[in-house]
Amino acid sequence: MTMLKFKFGDIALANLLVSLMSGLFVAYQYDYTAAYSSVITMDNSLPYGAFLRSLHYYSSQAFFLFLLIHVGEYICRGVHLNMPVCSWIKLVLTIPGAILLLFTGYILKGDIVGVSAGRIAEQLVLIIPFIGDALNRFFFSLKHDGLYRVYFNHALVLGLLCGWALWSHLKKRAIKGHYVLLCLFIVFGICFFCKAPLDAPPTDAEVMLVKGPWFFLGVQELLRYFSPLWAGIVYPSIIIVLLLLLPVSSKKYNGFLLSAIMLFMISHTFLTVVAFLR
Amino acid sequence: MLRRKFLTGLIRWAKVGFWGALLYPVFAFVVHKVPRLPVRIRVRATPGENDILVESDFFLFPDIKSPRAISRTCTHLGCRVNYSKENKLFICPCHDSRYTLDGKVIRGPAKKDLQEFLVTFSKEEGYIVELDA
């Protein structure tokens, strides 16, 4: 239980701030009309380009990881039970917002993984009944507009939406604790020794297996066996719906919801491992 | 009491209507799709030199009499399929759907065959492939 005394939210927030700052600098040299070549140039030709891109990459990954741990920590402590439903809904909706931020970042790399991830995301969103086309036009529209909308959403819209959802949670919050500094120190250290990954160019015709981003691997695996609607839309939505229902359910059903969340996490971890080992 | 409840409800719905009237035009503007013309791609290739030319969006079978262009977009979820010389198949690297060189699906999860594009050949221009808009 001593682990719970760590403020994982503070670590997540510190990483988010580093990610935002580094993203701002990366945006100066990034060109969405020639995504892959601009990333290659950044990595190999620009002074400190590889470091700044790595910093953006690893701090974003750390933000997402600690965000998930922070949500788990809240549920373990039962904070959601004493929180206004509206505030809880806003906080839960930052999870798909953060996933979209990470996912659009992967697409913007412009390598074979990014391009494939983008194409899959576009097709999955289009499958959603009634609103799929509008959602795709809003978030991706890769086939029609290239990377423009994805870039615009990654750099501005999604950040603003997440900021709005998190505002009441974060305002007047000061980041404290030596462990936050230690965590940032580790992230900076990783950036010095380990360059952010970049896969083969999108036109590489030799690649016979593409693995998506780590948080998408489970869904990618499931998409091999089930229809895109069930595997790509319904399955990942389950966890969000369960989290949304937590504060409004009675105590009797709270245990059931928590068991369902655990079951989802186990199944997703299993699928991710299977996909990783391919 | 009933009148107060009614008026409160009315004001609430008026707020929803106000925001809806404000946001709908913005939403309609953002999601509107501006029509695009079909894309024509010119490929300069010597007939008979290669069996299959791998372009960004299609595979071209350069034959003067009956040239064919088959889409590289997997019919499952849109990944770009690749050509496996060993297996003489088109394989999707995302979910392992497999197609024959005619574009016929032989292993899922894809259910539909690969799309075929219109392609013409002239000595002056080479191969012209017309992609969808």
pLDDT at residue A38 is higher than 80: yes
Give mean pLDDT, residues B2-15. 88
- pLDDT above 90 coverage of chain B, percent: 18
Question: Could you tell me the pLDDT band of residue B47, with boundaries at 50, 70 and 90?
Answer: low
Strands B39-43 and B126-131: antiparallel
The mean pLDDT of A112-120, rounded to a whole number, is 91
A52-69 tens-digit pLDDT? 999 999 999 999 999 999
Question: At residue A249, does pLDDT exceed 80?
Answer: no
Alpha helices in chain A (DSSP H): 8-29, 35-44, 49-77, 85-108, 112-127, 132-139, 142-145, 148-152, 158-170, 178-193, 217-222, 228, 235-245, 251-276
Q: What is the pLDDT of residue A2?
A: 46
Per-chain mean pLDDT for chain A: 87
Residue A155 predicted with pLDDT over 50? yes
Q: Is the pLDDT of residue A76 over 60?
A: yes
Nearest-5° angle of CA A203, CA A57, CA B94? 35
Task: Answer whether B72's CB lies under 8 Å from B58's CB.
Answer: yes
- Cα separation, B130 vs B71, in Å, equals 11
Taking CA–CA distances from B57, the nearest residue in chain A reads A203
Distance, first Cα to last Cα, chain B: 60
**Distance of residue B110 Cα from the nearest chain A Cα, in angstroms:** 9
First to last CA, chain A: 36
Of A133, A207, A232, the CB nearest to B82: A207
What pLDDT, on a 0 to 100 scale, did the predictor assign at position B114? 93
Interface residue A164 vs chain B (CB under 8 A): no
Contact A120 B79 (CB under 8 A): yes
pLDDT tens digits, residue range B102-127? 889 998 798 899 998 888 888 787 88
Q: Is the pTM of this model over 0.90?
A: no
Q: Which residues of A168-190 are buried (b: 16+ CB within 10 A; e: fewer)?
A: eeeeeeeeeeeebeebbeebeeb
**Do residue A144 and residue B33 have CB atoms under 8 angstroms apart?**
yes
The tens digit of pLDDT for each residue in A184-203 reads: 888 888 888 888 888 888 87
At B27, the pLDDT band (50, 70, 90 cuts) reads confident
Q: In whole angstroms, what is the distance from residue B45 CA to residue B105 CA?
A: 27
State the complex-level ipTM.
0.79
Compute the mean pLDDT over every residue in chain B, rounded to the nearest whole number: 85
pLDDT band at residue A26 using 50, 70 and 90 as cut-offs: very high
Residue range A212-226, pLDDT digits in tens: 889 989 999 999 999
Residues of B in contact with A124 (CB under 8 A): 77
Split at pLDDT 50, 70, 90, the class of A85 is: confident
Residue A1 has pLDDT above 80, yes or no: no
The whole-number pLDDT of residue A6 equals: 64
Verify whether the Cβ–Cβ distance A120 to B78 is below 8 Å.
yes
Q: For the residues of A1-33, what is the DSSP string, one character each?
A: -GGGGS-HHHHHHHHHHHHHHHHHHHHHH--GG
CA distance A24 to B99: 43
